[in-house]
Structures are given as C-alpha cells and as structure tokens.
Amino acid sequence: MSDNPWHKTPSGKTRARGLGLPLPGTPGAFNAITDVSGVEVGYTTLIEGHGPLVAGVGPVRTGVTAILPRGRKNALVPCAAGFFSLNGNGEMTGTTWIEESGQLETPITITNTHSCGVTRDATIRWLNDQVAAGIENWSLPVAAETYDGELNDINGFHVTVEHTIAALESAASGAIEMGSVGGGTGMSTYEFKAGSASASRQVETAAGTYTLGAFVQSNFGLRDELTVLGVPVGRHLTGGEFRSKGSGSIIAIVATDAPLLPHQIKRLARRVPLGLARTGTVGHNGSGDIFLAFSTANMEGYAAKADALGSFDCLANESLDPLFQAVVESVEEAVLDAMIANEAMTGANELTVPALPHDRLVELLHEAGRL
C-alpha cells in the first residue's frame, strides 16, 4: 500500500480510502482539516495502567486535542464562525458569544467530559502568553467534550493544564494522526474503537475553488445502526457490544477558506447531521451532537483595529450547495476513518472495545455490490 495520506495516517494506520472504499468527492492533499491553509492540529495522548478502575489512579485512556484556526502565528485574529447543536447532551463552551458576535476568537480544545473546564482555563493561560506585554487578554475559549468513562478513569481528572498547553504548542499543519489519539483516545463509535479523525474536500463554486475540512471526536451509536456506503453492515458485525443504550457524543469542527458571513457558516454547521446520518445514527437522547464551523477568509477584515472600517467578501447563497455537499461528505468520511484507522483497546475494568474488522467490512461491501 502506498504512503498516500489519503490511504494511511502518518503512523501507517489504514484509512477508509486505503481499503478501497469509493467515497465521493476529491480530498485535499492530506484529506484532513489541515488542508485549509493556516489550520493547525495538536494532540496530547494519555495511556497508562491496566486492570480494575481506581478513581485517581487509572486506568487512563484520555487526552486533549487542540485546533488553532489560524495557526499559532495568527492565533489572536478572529474567524467568522457559526454553531449548531443537533442534541445538547454535551458541552461546547464559548458558543454563546459565537452566537452573539459571529466570531471565533480562540483556539478549540476537545477532551473528555470531566476535563472540559481544565482545557478551557488552560487555553486562557496559553493565550496570555501570546499577547504583547501590557495588553490584557479577554477571552471565552471554545472547549468541547465527549464521554470516555467506559475505558478511562474519567473521575481521576488526569488531564492537566500542562497537557493542554502541550497540545496547543504541538499544533501543526500537514498530515495528522487519527484514531485513538488526543481527546479521542478513549472514545468508541457504533461500539467499535474510534476517536479522532478528519477529512477534506476541494470545492468548486461559481466564484472559484475552495477547501473545506472536517474534524470529529467520534463517540456515539449502537452496533446495529452502523451503515457504510449505504450498506447496514453493523447488524452483521456482531461481538464485543458493550452499550445497553445509545450514548456517547460527537463533536465536529468544520473549517473552510471560502469567504462566508457568519449566518452562512452556521448553515455549514447545520449540514453536519446529514453526514452523520449516512453512517446510521439516529441522534440518541444520551448523545451530545454539537458542531462548530469557521472560515479563515477575510483575515484583514477581522484583524482591523477598532476604529477602522473592515471589508469582508462573501459568496452568494446560490453558490453554497457545493460547500454543503463537502460538509456532508467530509463528516461521513471522518467518522468512518475514526473507526477504520484504529485498533482494539482494553481499558478500565478490563473492558475491551474491538476494532472494526477491515476484512469483514470489505467482504460485506463486496457482497452488496459497493466495491
């Protein structure tokens, strides 16, 4: 198999396209959110201990993901942004101000449910170090979460300020690792091991070509719901189920370099559930399904001083359909990669969450005429 980043992660894990899945659309160079120029992603991954759960001791299967919309160099320049919640059994801080202002003004961190406050506050500390001496930092950081308590000692509070700052400092462009890394370390999807993943699309519009990417921390669904390329494969992939009801959550972050106004970007966030639906989910009561989208365009306008007149370009609403399609396709692919680019994990109380079996998945798709 080639080292094409569409097919493999940097550590060599096989992605959906590496299995030959005929997913629609044309990705960017890395098939990741980092194909949007300026976007950087960093991780801190915490894996320690085995055996029975002892609060404060372990086992530990968790971490932090950091997304810098304009990278470290322009971390203090806002982006146009929009927020949407399909089901609010979860948390994403800072969204009240995004709804009010139409701007994302901070990095994004994603972690486990009970560490969300830590990563939020740590982001403020990190931002303090980015501002010039004598200038006050005022910020309402975006911190999001999904629940990893099935595998992780979630009440042990193992994620620290230092772990968060390490994720922010490690953020980089280029190909990114996927699977059981960062905030996604202890997560599961359709009762298979899942976690962090991303995908992107090159988008042709009447006004030009743009890039759109999605990043997910994927942790939702029951096995018999899993659908791949329209085939209900989950009902045939039995064994290792561990959830008695739909629970978990998914955080999705959508980025684009297309020039859009905040209300148009909110329309992108509203399309995330259509990509999730292609994988089979029904949006369970116990699942927090929360989405944020932003545009890196119009940087000069957003960097303008308080007493200056900002100028902003935007696409016509009639040009947005290809971007809507790109959201749906990239979210669907990212969820699949969260499972495919992964392996089984044993965590708290010796619970083992199995990996999605590649050979059997391919066999089922062949039988259904999809490969």
- Please identify every residue annotated as catalytic: 249, 287, 289
Other beta carbons less than 10 A from residue 368's beta carbon? 14
The token duo for 333 is 């692919």
**Listed residue (46, 342, 56, 310) closest to 218, CA to CA:** 342
**Listed residue (118, 33, 54) closest to 294, CA to CA:** 33
